Amino acid sequence: MTRRRPEALPMPGGAQLFQRMFTRLGLHGRLPLFDVRFHPYANLTVTIRMRQETAYVRFSDVMSGAPLAVLEAAAAILLSRMYRRRARRQWLEVFRDYSYHEETRAQLETVRRLRARHVRGNGTGQHHDLESLFEQLNAKYFESALPIPRIGWSGRAWRAQLGCFDPALQQIAINRRLDRADVPEFVVAYVMYHEMLHQKHPLKMVRCRLQSHSAEFRREEKKFRDYAVAQKFLARR
């Protein structure tokens, strides 16, 4: 049986909230109509798109229980973006603190397990074998202590991101743009090693912020045999 995807639901009082923030921000011009809904995203996504006279706003449904101050901050950030203004620091901090909160992170992990896409295949590409690289790196740098996650190439070529470790899915995805004959294996191995370090060193809160690359992480990263040459190769691309 196929799991039915949740529907986008109207946000109660959403239009009034955006109208209020439009006025508070001192924006000029004709007030748009606002269509505001909670959408079943796999992340803490917030978007706004203007079509004719209607602004279509989508908040991640994870935010359906968020405090009013957080919803107002998100609205202010989106409106500032749409009207090409710099969002005030106070709004950015409110939204950042909410997104970093332990309860919010736990909710996001839950929805990602249900909604995020799993990589397909077994990591065997046209030019590079990801599972084989993981095994070699695990033995050489981690004493084969890292649990084997789901491993695969990204479904499409990413523009900037090289790889991603998703703790909710226990999955490593590598940008399929690297599965090319002109990309040396040590470069793919370095990207895999970087994501394996994320598996070893989970995100943690430091001074009220999420830290993904600690000093210890960076020290270990430089232990990779071809660290410098791999960095140099990737900088040219």
The tens digit of pLDDT for each residue in 131-146 reads 999 999 999 999 999 9
The domains found in the chain, sorted by start residue, are 9-115 (3.30.2010), 130-235 (3.30.2010.10)
Check whether 113 has a pLDDT greater than 60.
yes
CA atoms within 13 A on the CB side of 194: 19
pTM for the whole thing?
0.73
The pLDDT score that the predictor gives to residue 209 is: 53
- Please report the pLDDT score of residue 211 as a whole number: 55
Mean pLDDT, residues 190-219 taken together: 80
Task: Using DSSP bridges, classify how beta strands 33-39 and 54-60 pair: parallel, antiparallel or unpaired.
Answer: parallel
Per-residue pLDDT, averaged over 35-39, amounts to 97
Distances 153 to 84, 100, 120 between C-alpha atoms, Å: 36, 28, 7
Strand partners, 55: 34, 50
**pLDDT band for position 119 (cuts 50, 70, 90):** confident
Q: Which of 120, 121, 236, 119 is nearest to 183 (CA)?
A: 236
